[in-house]
Homo-oligomer: A and B are copies of this chain.
């Protein structure tokens, strides 16, 4: 086992794409030894990659936009990583098949590595696993990393939180989403893209969006979220989008925000590791050998409730000594 991991990490450090793929699988599966691997990856560097998150409704053109940027000539000499996250994938078999074609096309470019992350019917951990993959990309030397997510459910919000620049893609058809925009999306977007800008209503949509953004508080020194019209299929507007990303990156770096962001992520990671260890330990200490059925039966009988059982039968004083 140990030899196997050492071997994998040696090949990883030689930057063999297959070793990256294997490492990601190991992390995704939470396979034996993954924590050791993660620890080693963190030591390979945590500031080397810049992460751009892209979110928006299905069909808004996120993948096409990412592809156009990633394949832009000026990034030919940059190491690029792409993670496509789809928490609802069990129902989107078609999208996954589509991804395969896309992945084959992108794989022709040696500087690009793409991986799709899907919830495989089991609950928990997709956001965590995705963030760990971003660490692997960073350790592997990926300089520019794109994270695509569908929608903004809980998983996606957790994921974009790990990105340095967040792009929200909308289309003129999303017109009635303006209402929804008011709740939550505005806060996460560093750049808005109005894709399919050649369609009817695109200008009006962009204007409405602008008027919402204008209401946003912000002092002179803060970032002003730009709206970039694009037509991903033809490539129109991609130049401006790349310029907007670069501008936001400069803003993040010049103000020390990039570094502070990474520090915050690492602090959260420490907390998560400790919390998870404690959860496991607690389950062992508090619940092992105790049959909860008896309490559940009493609750079904209306004699007590889960909160009272937790309070009376599993008091924290049983767990913590006098410290």
Contact = CB atoms under 8 A, between A and B. Distances in A.
A137 B270 CA distance: 39
A237 to B, nearest CB: 21
Given A91-B57, A177-B93, A321-B320, A120 B296 contact: no
A308 B42 CA distance: 10
Given A39-B307, A153-B87, A266-B306, A97 B184 contact: no
Given A266-B296, A266-B299, A316-B278, A273 B306 contact: yes
A183 interface: yes
Nearest to A38: B307
Could you say how many copies of this chain the assembly holds?
2
Contact of A39 (B89, B293, B305, B322): B305
Contact of A286 (B154, B161, B274): B274
Name A's interface SS: helix
A259 to B, nearest CB: 7
Interface string A26-47: 0000000001101111111111
A305 B38 contact: yes
Contact of A40 (B158, B287, B305): B305
A56 B88 CA distance: 10
B185 A90 contact: yes
B270 A310 contact: yes
Interface in A184-202: 184-185, 187-188
Contacts of A256: none
Interface stretch (A9-17, A121-129, A210-218, A242-250): A121-129
Given A40-B305, A42-B306, A305-B39, A126 B154 contact: yes
A174 interface: yes
Interface residues of A, number: 99
Interface string A53-70: 000111000000000000
Contact of A304 (B43, B123, B282): B43
A155 interface: yes
A308 to B, nearest CB: 6
A90 B57 CA distance: 9
A295 interface: yes
A36 B157 CA distance: 30
Contacts of A123: 154, 157-158, 161
A47 B86 CA distance: 36
Contacts of A35: 307
Interface of A: 35-36, 38-47, 56-58, 87-94, 96-97, 119-124, 126, 150-158, 161, 174, 176-181, 183-185, 187-188, 259, 262-264, 266-267, 269-271, 273-275, 277-279, 281-283, 285-287, 292-293, 295-297, 299-300, 302-310, 314, 316, 318-323
Given A90-B183, A278-B279, 11 more contacts: A57-B91, A88-B150, A88-B152, A91-B174, A93-B177, A121-B184, A121-B188, A269-B306, A277-B310, A278-B316, A319-B320
